[in-house]
Amino acid sequence: GESVGLHLPTLSVQEGDNSIINCAYSNSASDYFIWYKQESGKGPQFIIDIRSNMDKRQGQRVTVLLNKTVKHLSLQIAATQPGDSAVYFCAENGGSQGNLIFGKGTKLSVKP
């Protein structure tokens, strides 16, 4: 098992329900944000991105909302499926000169 370390917040939802995963970012200069999904044993998978000139962007079953005033990002997953079970990370760019900075992640668990 894993050694002592990060205790990821966990979100448990019923299959078919909507999921909302939240993220507080740190740098007010960040102008580009990405959500990633990471399944066990795999690398992070790009889900959706948003630039700071937008406050909402929709993809297939996913919506990202950006609130720059409070430096908050959220990922909404519609009709959550068991295959959505994974750890979700938000990432910010720290301003265009910065590398991607990752949040600690949220573990989504979908109950059938």
**Site of interaction with another protein (CB under 8 A):** 2-6, 32, 34, 36, 42-46, 49, 89, 91, 93-105
Short-list 36, 39, 16, 18, CA closest to 92: 36
Q: Provide φ and ψ at 65, rounded to 5°.
A: -120, 135
Cβ 93 to another protein shortest distance, Å: 3
Helix ranges, the chain (H): none
36 vs 80, beta carbon nearer another protein: 36
11 vs 98, beta carbon nearer another protein: 98
Q: Distance between CA 60 and CA 66 in Å, rounded?
A: 18
80 vs 106, beta carbon nearer another protein: 106
DSSP state string for 3-16: PS-----EEEEETT
15 vs 39, beta carbon nearer another protein: 39
Alpha-carbon dihedral sign for residues 68, 86, 106, 36: negative
Cβ 47 to another protein shortest distance, Å: 10
Cβ 101 to another protein shortest distance, Å: 7
Cβ 21 to another protein shortest distance, Å: 16
